[in-house]
């Protein structure tokens, strides 16, 4: 959970069901990742948003060390930045699969969807 | 290779994840990166998060795009964004000191979106592979 | 490849790649709408045609390939 309080701050976690919920986050503009992505032009790295979905899945599933074994498909549909979308909602739903979980995640705000992802966490 | 990596990719520390463009051709590139302690993606167990490998492969494609741009006279490294990741697989998470060697194979490009495949190894052993689309605004 | 072979191969390949029923791939159907393409997935169409038929559709030719019948004609004339 190395992005928590580093790349984002959790505002609220709502567990609708055992394996479904959404997490409201605030992006932290002072995060060091923006020093290099990109110098003078802070843009959320897509991979940080993928990691954010995983960490939110851990919160919803109440497990703290899950990993992506595979990502079937992740579409980055809009460029996210702390200025464009200071607050985001991460939606997560999961179902048990083998020793892990098949998850679907999305990152949205009121204006648009930034990412949709399907993957396996173990 | 006549170019330093800083001339080929726009990313910088703590998220710069390519040290060297080893070689490049019209539709393929080989890149190298030694995992460093200050890397943004190092977790508490001293290993890279798996998403860091996606970033490393994307930056390897970015280095190829930067090389092609420089070869045709560009004076700046183009900024590219990951548009899609497909069929990513993690096999093992590298640790500080490991040398990542990645081959990226570039496919067709349509309206700024390039399809590519990347595979990363450490000491010859597969670490991760994926397909990806990189979007470079025209 | 005969035209009939091209049609059959296009239908089976695109149905699988874009997860649609073969039955929706009809001569006059618009490719972009039928396969629900967008700026990210258009390159998949070009790639799968290039890989399957060894026919490369340059960007400037894309406007000529609106319907599936256009695609069959294009492949047939560029084999």
Q: Tens of pLDDT along A33-58?
A: 999 999 999 999 999 999 999 999 99
CB contact (8 A) between residue A73 and residue B84: yes
Chain A CB contacts of B85 under 8 Å are 46, 50, 71, 73-74
Looking at the structure of chain C, the number of domains it has is 1
CB contact (8 A) between residue A68 and residue B58: no
How many Å lie between the alpha carbon of B123 and the closest alpha carbon of chain C? 32
> Tell me: the pLDDT tens digits for C64-76?
999 999 999 999 9
B102 pLDDT more than 90? yes
pLDDT at C79: 87
> From the centroid of its chain, how far is CA B34?
13
A75 interface with B at CB cutoff 8 Å: yes
CB contact (8 A) between residue A35 and residue B13: yes
Are the C-beta atoms of residues A115 and A106 closer than 8 Å to each other?
A: yes
C61 interface with B at CB cutoff 8 Å: no
Which residue range is the domain that position C47 belongs to?
3-77
pLDDT at A106: 98
pLDDT at B137: 85
Chains with 3 or more CB pairs closer than 8 angstroms to A? B
Look up the pTM and report it. 0.93
B76 interface with C at CB cutoff 8 Å: no
pLDDT tier for residue B69 given thresholds of 50, 70 and 90: very high
Q: Which residues of A39-64 are buried (b: 16+ CB within 10 A; e: fewer)?
A: eeebbbbbbbbbbbbbbbbbbbbeee
A7 interface with B at CB cutoff 8 Å: no
C39 pLDDT more than 90? no
| HSE-up (13 A, CA, CB side) for residue A67 | 15
CATH number at residue C68: 1.10.1200.10
CB contact (8 A) between residue A51 and residue B49: yes
A80 interface with B at CB cutoff 8 Å: no
CB contact (8 A) between residue B107 and residue C47: yes
C32, C33, C38, C39 alpha-carbon torsion, rounded to 10°: 30
């Amino acid at each position: 959970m190395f992005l928590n309080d580093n790349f984002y701050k959790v505002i609220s976690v709502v567990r609708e069901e055992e394996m479904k919920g959404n997490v409201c986050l605030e992006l932290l503009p002072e995060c060091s990742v923006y020093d290099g992505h990109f110098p003078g032009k802070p843009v959320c790295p897509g991979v940080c948003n993928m990691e954010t979905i995983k960490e939110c899945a851990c919160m919803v599933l109440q497990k703290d060390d899950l990993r992506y074994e595979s990502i079937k498909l992740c579409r980055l549909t809009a460029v996210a930045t702390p200025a464009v979308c200071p607050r985001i909602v991460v939606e997560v739903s999961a179902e048990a699969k083998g020793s892990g979980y098949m998850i679907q995640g999305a990152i949205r705000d009121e204006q648009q969807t930034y990412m949709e992802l399907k993957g396996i966490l173990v | 290779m006549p170019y330093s990596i800083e001339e080929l990719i726009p990313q910088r520390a703590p998220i710069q994840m390519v040290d060297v463009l080893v070689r490049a051709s019209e539709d393929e590139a080989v890149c190298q990166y030694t995992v460093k302690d200050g890397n943004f993606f190092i977790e508490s167990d001293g290993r890279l998060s798996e998403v860091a490998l996606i970033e490393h492969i994307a930056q390897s494609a970015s280095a190829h795009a930067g090389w092609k741009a420089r070869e045709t006279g560009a004076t700046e490294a183009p900024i590219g964004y990951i548009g899609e990741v497909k069929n990513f697989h993690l096999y093992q998470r590298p640790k500080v000191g490991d040398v990542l060697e990645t081959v990226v194979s570039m496919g067709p490009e349509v309206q700024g979106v390039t399809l590519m495949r990347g595979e990363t190894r450490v000491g010859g052993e597969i670490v991760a592979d994926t397909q990806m689309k990189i979007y470079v605004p025209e | 490849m005969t035209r009939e072979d091209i049609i059959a191969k296009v239908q089976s390949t695109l149905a699988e790649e874009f997860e649609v029923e073969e039955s929706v791939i009809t001569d006059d159907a618009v490719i972009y709408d039928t396969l629900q393409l967008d700026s990210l997935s258009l390159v998949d169409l070009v790639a799968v045609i290039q890989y399957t038929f060894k026919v490369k559709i340059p960007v400037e030719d894309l406007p000529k390939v609106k319907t599936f019948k256009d695609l069959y004609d294009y492949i047939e004339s560029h084999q």
